[in-house]
C-alpha cells in the first residue's frame, strides 16, 4: 500500500528523466510531485494504481 508523502516509482519515468515521485495529496485523485523537477501531476486513484510500479520509501513506517 501507499501513503501520503511516500516516494514512489511509476511505470513510465517523467520526461525530465527522473522516476521518483512524492505523493502530496490523497483523495479521489492522487497528486504526485516529481522529486527532480517539482512538476505536479494529478491522477484518478484507479489510474494512479495502474501506473504505480513500486513504493521506494515509506514516509510513515508504523
Note the residues at the interface with Zn ion (CB under 5 A): 14, 16, 18, 34, 36-37, 39
Minimum distance, C-beta of residue 61 to Zn ion, in the bound complex (Å)? 26
* Closest to Zn ion by CB, 12 or 61: 12
Structural element, H or E, at residue 50: helix 45-51
Q: Are 36 and 17 in contact (CB under 8 A)?
A: yes
* Smallest distance, Zn ion to C-beta of residue 18, A: 5
Quote the least distance from Cβ 32 to Zn ion, whole Å.
10
The x, y and z cell numbers of residue 48, run together, are 494512479
CA distance 43 to 17: 19
Amino acid at each position: 500500500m501507499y501513503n501520503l508523502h511516500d516516494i514512489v516509482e511509476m511505470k513510465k519515468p517523467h520526461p525530465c528523466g527522473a522516476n521518483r515521485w512524492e505523493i502530496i495529496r490523497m483523495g479521489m485523485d492522487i497528486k504526485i510531485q516529481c522529486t527532480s523537477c517539482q512538476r505536479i501531476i494529478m491522477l484518478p486513484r484507479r489510474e494512479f494504481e495502474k501506473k504505480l510500479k513500486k513504493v521506494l520509501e515509506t514516509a510513515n513506517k508504523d
